Amino acid sequence: MKRPASGCGDQPNLFLEFAELILPWLPPPDMASVSSTCRTLRRMAQAITERRCSDASRGLEKYPIPFCNPVDDEPYAYFLYTSHAVLGNRSSSILSQSWGGNYSCPSKFGPAHELSSLDVDVSEGCCCRECSVGHDGRGGCPCLGFNELLSVVELGVGSRMECGNSCSCSIDCPNRPTQRGIAVKLRIVKHLKKGWGLHAAEFVPRGEFLCEYVGELLTTEESRKRQQEYDKYVSTGHFSPALLVVREHLPSGKACLRLNIDATRIGNVARFINHACDGGNLSTVLLRHSGALLPRLCFFAARDIDEGEELAFSYGDVRQGHRAVPCFCGSSNCSGLLPYEQT
């Protein structure tokens, strides 16, 4: 008796439906192992790989964000995508996310709890129905008055305040530009020495919001534990952690807030933004909105950015500790080493 063309059983239709549901949940090594068992699974895995390469955001952003690799045969970087900050804990290691299947319908807020569940009415919002924002960033909205009172941020150019949950205005308010998600076209490109990097896929004017640095929010204790783990593997050259620590300071210079964001396993496309010793073409802003408990780290165009140009910012200038990772930013004042600080 002849076997079905798939070579995988006597009920090909049921088998294909089952495989189409399961394969998108597998990370690359597991999918490669399963696909080696027969031609049908190999073809399905190839189709899933192509769909993964076409959009790193899994449909969670306005525009697809494709991978482009002119360097080697690595098709994409695997991680769990979320468009919002999530609470980091050890239980997140068991989470997974469907990516690349015909029936993939990932959660709107990614693989973990949405940060907005932490939002509380810690401040009064504006009563504006329409908020006006001038060229200088000021306007008639009371929320804009807070911008001159906010503290200095160690990483970047300062802080800003947007309207939030306790405000009367809608999501279309001009003082909510970062809350509408990524609105510019981007692509992820592989570099010979730097690895993956984030590039503009269209012209981006100065001052335009690009993306937020999204990942797991960690306690300082957990952040230090993870950094110690990451340091063991980073010297191999095959591991790139995305743990970012931001300290906010009062005018007196005393730290009043530490934000630990780990996008190594769970994050968005901001995890691919590389360091530039000259500061790069992005401004970093610690952004608050009324009604929110925690601020968000957002990136804006520091100048006009051309289509195809790589996006970059300064990771800082602290170089303490034993880790020495080469920097390949290519700027005229490149120090030769990536910034590092023992957290």
The total domain count for the chain is 2
Examine the domain organization and report whether 244 and 329 are in the same domain.
yes
Q: Is there a domain that residue 231 lies in?
A: yes
Residues 6+ apart with CB under 8 A from 140: 128, 131, 132
Query: What percentage of the chain has pLDDT greater than the value 90?
Result: 41
Q: Which residue has better confidence, 193 or 321? A: 193
Categorize the per-residue pLDDT at 228 as very low, low, confident or very high, splitting at 50, 70 and 90. Answer: confident
Give me the pLDDT at residue 255, please: 63
Domain co-membership, 195 together with 208 = yes
What does the block give as tokens for 305?
């950015």
**Residues 82, 18: one domain?**
no
Confidence class of residue 342 from pLDDT cuts 50, 70 and 90? Answer: low
Please report, for the domain that includes residue 321, its CATH number.
Answer: 2.170.270.10
Q: Is residue 145 part of a domain?
A: no
Q: Which residue has the higher pLDDT, 26 or 320?
A: 26
Q: In terms of residue numbers, what domain contains 243? A: 56-112+180-249+257-283+294-343
Residues 31 and 80 in one domain: no
CB contact at 8 A, 168 and 126: yes
pLDDT band at 154 (very low <50, low <70, confident <90, very high): very low
Range list of β-strands (E), 73-137: 80-81, 86-87
Q: Domain for residue 333, yes or no?
A: yes
Within-domain flag for 146: no
The per-residue DSSP string of 185-230 comes to -EEEEEETTTEEEEEESS-B-TT-EEEE--SEEE-HHHHHHHHHHH
pLDDT at 264: 93
